């Protein structure tokens, strides 16, 4: 069995240290559990704040994010997907998920491919799109990485399962206008939940989302509902809208058996 923890919270805009400590406190609430993987939300260090994202980027090795969380992974003996942070590489700025192994070593990074430029979103005006997918052969499973709006693009996940992904994670900041009517928000959440289920069952993987929640910008409300979903499409955990974490012991033998019986990675 593998222990998976997904963190959900409302970050403070532009306050990295406060956000680091808040994530650390939320992880510590599960300190009695066995961790194999922890997943943290998109924009966790800066919040949904363009100025903070643009003006306080990490370097290509992950800077303050990797420095801080390398201590966390050694403390809890776990692998971790450090949400996403801004990464400066020359003249380009990426929305990047850094992944650390149990030794605190940078095992890989994924630069978000599908940027959100719709319904008022402007991510692509200051962020460059990545081009490479990522599946890491960590010490307990093969883990594929996606980020937020990627969830709308099933061909990306097809590529991840062709590379052998058994777990796919998605740090997210899935949000809606705070002024949206209640009925619209309810539909928005149902759609999000349906995409989580679809990405898990169509790929025969455990699908783990870690989302922001609450008022995350003056005009935005992040919906929460971080989820751990199994390969049959079963919702194992749903964080709903509260800050905190969701934990599950998952059986990777289920995924490996299913992939042997239904070789989705080989099907066109």
Enzyme catalytic residues:
42, 112, 148
Phi/psi at 7 (5° precision): -100, 140
User: How open is the CA angle 55-61-66, to the nearest 5 degrees?
Assistant: 85
CA distance 138 to 99: 10
Bridge-partner residues for 79, per DSSP?
A: 37
Distances (CA, A) of 235 to 47, 70, 204: 27, 30, 13
Write down how long the chain is: 268
Longest dimension (CA), the chain: 49
Q: Which residue do the tokens 């290509």 mark?
A: 60
217 three-class SS = strand
Helix (H) or strand (E) run with residue 70 in it: helix 63-76
């Amino acid at each position: 069995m593998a222990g998976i923890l997904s963190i959900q919270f409302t970050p403070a805009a532009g306050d990295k240290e406060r956000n680091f400590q808040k994530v650390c406190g939320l992880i510590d609430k599960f300190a009695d559990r066995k961790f194999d993987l922890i997943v943290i939300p998109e924009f966790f260090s800066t919040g949904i704040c363009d100025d903070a994202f643009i003006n306080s980027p990490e370097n290509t090795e992950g800077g303050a994010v990797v420095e801080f969380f390398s201590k966390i992974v050694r403390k809890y003996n776990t692998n971790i997907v450090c949400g996403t942070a801004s990464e400066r590489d020359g003249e380009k700025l990426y929305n990047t998920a850094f992944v650390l192994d149990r030794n605190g070593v940078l095992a890989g990074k994924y630069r978000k491919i599908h940027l959100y430029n719709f319904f008022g979103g402007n991510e692509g005006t200051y962020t460059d799109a990545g081009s490479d997918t990522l599946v890491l052969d960590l010490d307990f499973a093969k883990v594929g990485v996606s980020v937020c709006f990627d969830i709308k693009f099933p061909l990306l996940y097809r590529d991840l399962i062709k590379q052998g992904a058994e777990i796919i994670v998605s740090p997210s900041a899935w949000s809606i206008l705070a002024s949206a009517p209640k009925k619209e928000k309810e539909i928005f959440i149902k759609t999000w939940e349906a995409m989580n289920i679809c990405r898990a069952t169509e790929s025969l993987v455990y699908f783990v989302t870690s989302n922001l929640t609450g008022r995350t910008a003056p005009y935005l409300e992040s919906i929460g509902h971080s989820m751990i979903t199994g390969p049959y499409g079963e919702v194992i955990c749903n964080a709903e809208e509260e800050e905190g974490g969701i934990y599950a012991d998952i059986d990777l033998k289920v995924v490996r058996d299913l992939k042997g019986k239904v070789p989705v990675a080989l099907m066109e």
